[in-house]
């Protein structure tokens, strides 16, 4: 199973790769930034390029665990297999808690509000309660390659 600490080192998560949730070119407006500690500053998810009104699809099969307004934005949370939970915001949806969703099924449309810049939707993912980088779940994301920078003297 994928764990927060081991995720960066494994070739692939121990779950099927997720589907990209919005149509169009795959573009990350703001990347995941892990906090130094549990309550530290960071960006616990990724902001994906998507114009207001863009259809958002479930990245994997799951069950709607929450849909409602938090502060100034609407969001939806979906529980998936393997202890994974995804949250999309701002997202306007007609789904209700308990609805089953299939991978690729429309779950709503990009809305406005919150910290996400206009033209983007935030995707956060937790594994057993801990935030992880959502990009780890999209199987076609290439791994980083470290190159030597200096010659030893």
The full set of domain ranges for the chain reads: 28-36+43-137
Q: Which residue has the tokens 């991978």?
A: 103
Give pLDDT, residue 10.
43
Cβ(147)–Cβ(133) under 8 Å? Answer: no
Distant-in-sequence, close-in-space partners of 113: CB < 8 Å, separation ≥ 6: 72, 73, 74, 90
Element (H, E) at 132: strand 130-132
Give pLDDT, residue 141.
59
* Beta pairing partners, 124: 87
Is the CATH number of domain 28-36+43-137 2.40.440.10? no
Q: What is the pLDDT of residues 102-132, one digit of tens each?
A: 999 999 999 988 888 889 999 999 999 989 9
pTM over 0.95: no
Q: What is the pLDDT of residues 6-61, one digit of tens each?
A: 334 344 456 788 999 998 888 999 999 988 888 888 889 999 999 999 999 999 99
């Amino acid at each position: 199973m994928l764990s927060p600490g081991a995720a960066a080192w494994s070739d692939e998560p121990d779950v099927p790769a997720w589907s990209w949730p919005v149509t169009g070119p795959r573009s990350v407006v703001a990347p995941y930034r892990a906090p130094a500690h549990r309550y530290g500053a960071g960006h616990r998810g990724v902001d994906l390029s998507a114009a207001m009104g863009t259809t958002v699809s479930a990245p994997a099969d799951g069950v709607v665990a929450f849909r409602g307004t938090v502060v100034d934005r609407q969001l939806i949370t979906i529980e998936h297999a393997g202890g994974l939970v995804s949250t999309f915001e701002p997202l306007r949806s007609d789904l209700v808690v308990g609805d089953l969703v299939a991978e690729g099924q429309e779950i709503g449309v990009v809305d406005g509000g919150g910290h996400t810049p206009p033209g983007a939707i935030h995707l956060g993912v937790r594994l057993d309660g801990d935030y992880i980088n959502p990009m780890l779940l999209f199987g076609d994301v290439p791994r980083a390659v470290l190159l030597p920078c200096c010659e030893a003297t």
